[in-house]
Structure 1
Amino acid sequence: MNGESSLIPTDGLGQADLDALSAFVDGELPEGERRAIAERLVHDPRAADRVTHFRAQRAALRALFADPAAQSSGPCIVLRIRTPWWRHALVAAGSLAAGVVLAWFAGTLETYLLPPAAQSAFARQADIAYALYAPEQEHAVEVAATREGTVVSWLSKRLNRPLTVPSLAEYGYAFLGGRLLPGSAGPAAQFMYENGHGERLALYVSAASLAQAPVRLWRDGDRRTFYWASRRTAYALSGEIPGDRLRAIAVDVCGDLGGRPEQWR
């Protein structure tokens, strides 16, 4: 990935910064440097955006070159790269450029046509589910992470869509497992994470009526939920940690799941 850094906009970041961020995404940094980069992402939106781009690029390449036989053995999600305008200008013109503009415009319409009331209702459901199950010590999840393939496959079938469990290991959170919950749009899934201090985060997933919706914040007391929609699937990440840290994690999760974390509200 480092070899491609010079081909993308730097956003004011130096080559050393881009190399370090790329190595961070590829898991090539020593523990001390990895922690320093993770903390930097909380306060540096440019670096966080670049990491999101690198992660989406890596995920798309893995999906592109994955073994089809291996893919058929379990649920997966194919991520897409949101190709920047300057690359389109290098490879196409005329009708192709017009097609890109029309696709972007259509996506924008979908974003703003999704009823805000439905989005806030979804966020509240995610918040309530987090408030209900995060304090549980013995029954925080219905199926434990020791059966990760089972819980993801089961919830994918119940929600009738391929699901994936994003890794939050770089932020110190381990995957505990998941559960099936009722939602206003049908079945919903909740994936629970926990760090070494006992703090928990929950990713809540359900069907969405339209393809895209920008990331928004729902707050109830000390609980915060960042929520969005991508590919007709709604997501919400809830926790009781500082907002800037939860936001940085939500940026990564949104990008990893094929969303548009740049559309913050």
Structure 2
Amino acid sequence: MNNDHDSGLPDGLDLRALSAFVDGELPPAEHAAIETQLEQQPQAGARVAAWRAQKAALQALCGAPQREDVGYSGRSGQSGQSVADEPAFIVVRRPTPWWQRVGIAACWLTAGAGLALALGPLAPRLTGGAWNGLGGQPPSFAERADIAYAVYTPERRHPVEVAASEEEHLINWLSKRLNRPLSVPSLQEYGYSLVGGRLLPGEAGPAAQFMYENRSGARLTLYITGISRDETAFRLFRDGNRRTFYWVSDRMGYALSGPIAEGKLRSIAVEVCSALGGKPEAWQ
């Protein structure tokens, strides 16, 4: 039986070779050869992109450290393939009985409340204002924005559904799906150009993700979704080397994610909020 044929892949590419390519296990010459073949075979390229997205999602959801060299340097750069930071396995433990979970949860809740009361006055100095006592837990839309960044920014061939060359169509399509007129703020003054965008599932409906890239290939994403509450708070959520500044304005949640320096990302977030009709002066 021919495994290549059964896998639905074009001739000349086999499933094991593609899997090793995604995992960074091939010698440089073989890696370059497969990369060339993928440029000529969209079906195989789409499969590789899907595998990479699934792998990044699992790493983000399981709390695995992201590889520092994931992604590409520019639109025509070479991919990083270090696997030193990848988890070798996932440990599956026997479920704890429900009565033990309830008792443990009660103990942790009591201890957590006491710790919050003790450290509350020190929180702004310890976290730069990113944590706000018991109310500082990031909302799910900020966590979703962070995971979406981790999943899609490493993609070279399929980072977005609609490219920036179709910006008008992209904005009209996402505005219709979110039932809200959207606009895409320009980040050219910070050296970032729009790559495009995509539709994502949100906490209580659809969400939009717009992706930007600078000349060195570094990427930022702006995540937008409708939410049921309104506030003016501006907070920071960290996950490894990724940072997400998030805020709510007129019942819309916004999150700007990227691995750049905190101060610079905050400056860009303030600019984005102002461009989208928010009131960043309330954060100062």
Q: TM-score range by the shorter chain?
A: 0.5 to 0.7
* Residue 173 (str. 1) matches residue 192 (str. 2): yes
With structure 1 as the length reference, what TM-score do the two structures score? 0.54
* Residue 258 (str. 1) matches residue 268 (str. 2): no
* Residue 189 (str. 1) matches residue 222 (str. 2): no
Match of 2:31 in 1: none
How far apart are 1:264 and its partner, in Å?
A: 3.4
* Residue 199 (str. 1) matches residue 199 (str. 2): no
Match of 2:83 in 1: none
**Equivalent residue for 1:158, pick from 149, 171, 177:** 177
Q: Which has the larger radius of gyration?
A: 2
Match of 1:140 in 2: 159
Partner Cα distance (1:116, 1:137) in 2: 38
Contact kept, 8 Å, 1:189 with 1:204, in 2: the verdict is yes
**Which gives a bigger RCO, structure 1 or 2 (Cα 8 Å, sep 6+)?**
1
How far apart are 1:122 and its partner, in Å?
A: 1.1
Contact kept, 8 Å, 1:227 with 1:236, in 2: the verdict is yes
Match of 2:267 in 1: 248
Contact kept, 8 Å, 2:194 with 2:213, in 1: the verdict is yes
Partner Cα distance (2:238, 2:279) in 1: 21
Q: RMSD value over aligned CA atoms? A: 1.8
Contact kept, 8 Å, 1:193 with 1:202, in 2: the verdict is yes
Match of 2:23 in 1: none
Match of 1:218 in 2: 237
Contact kept, 8 Å, 2:138 with 2:237, in 1: the verdict is no
Partner Cα distance (2:135, 2:247) in 1: 11
**Equivalent residue for 2:255, pick from 226, 231, 236:** 236
Secondary structure of the corresponding residue to residue 128 of structure 1: helix
Contact kept, 8 Å, 1:214 with 1:260, in 2: the verdict is no
Do the aligned partners of residues 204 and 141 (structure 1) sit closer, same or farther apart at CA in structure 2, a change above 3 Å counting?
same
How far apart are 1:116 and its partner, in Å?
A: 5.0
How far apart are 1:135 and its partner, in Å?
A: 0.8
Match of 1:13 in 2: none
* Residue 125 (str. 1) matches residue 125 (str. 2): no
More helix by share: 1
Contact kept, 8 Å, 2:162 with 2:196, in 1: the verdict is yes
Secondary structure of the corresponding residue to residue 185 of structure 1: coil
Deviations 1:18-52 (A, max 9, x none): xxxxxxxxxxxxxxxxxxxxxxxxxxxxxxxxxxx
Partner Cα distance (1:211, 1:226) in 2: 16
How far apart are 1:153 and its partner, in Å?
A: 0.3
Equivalenced residues, count = 151
Secondary structure of the corresponding residue to residue 170 of structure 2: helix
Partner Cα distance (1:131, 1:203) in 2: 13
Contact kept, 8 Å, 1:123 with 1:225, in 2: the verdict is yes
Do the aligned partners of residues 221 and 118 (structure 1) sit closer, same or farther apart at CA in structure 2, a change above 3 Å counting?
closer
Secondary structure of the corresponding residue to residue 217 of structure 1: strand
How far apart are 1:242 and its partner, in Å?
A: 0.6
Secondary structure of the corresponding residue to residue 253 of structure 1: helix
How far apart are 1:260 and its partner, in Å?
A: 2.1
Secondary structure of the corresponding residue to residue 235 of structure 2: strand
Partner Cα distance (2:213, 2:139) in 1: 25
* Residue 208 (str. 1) matches residue 227 (str. 2): yes
Q: How does 1:36-185 map to 2 (within 5 A)?
A: 116=135, 120-185=139-204
How far apart are 1:155 and its partner, in Å?
A: 0.3
Aligned-pair identity in percent equals 61
Secondary structure of the corresponding residue to residue 233 of structure 2: strand
Contact kept, 8 Å, 1:216 with 1:264, in 2: the verdict is no
Secondary structure of the corresponding residue to residue 244 of structure 1: helix
Structure 1: segments with no counterpart, 5+ residues = 1-114
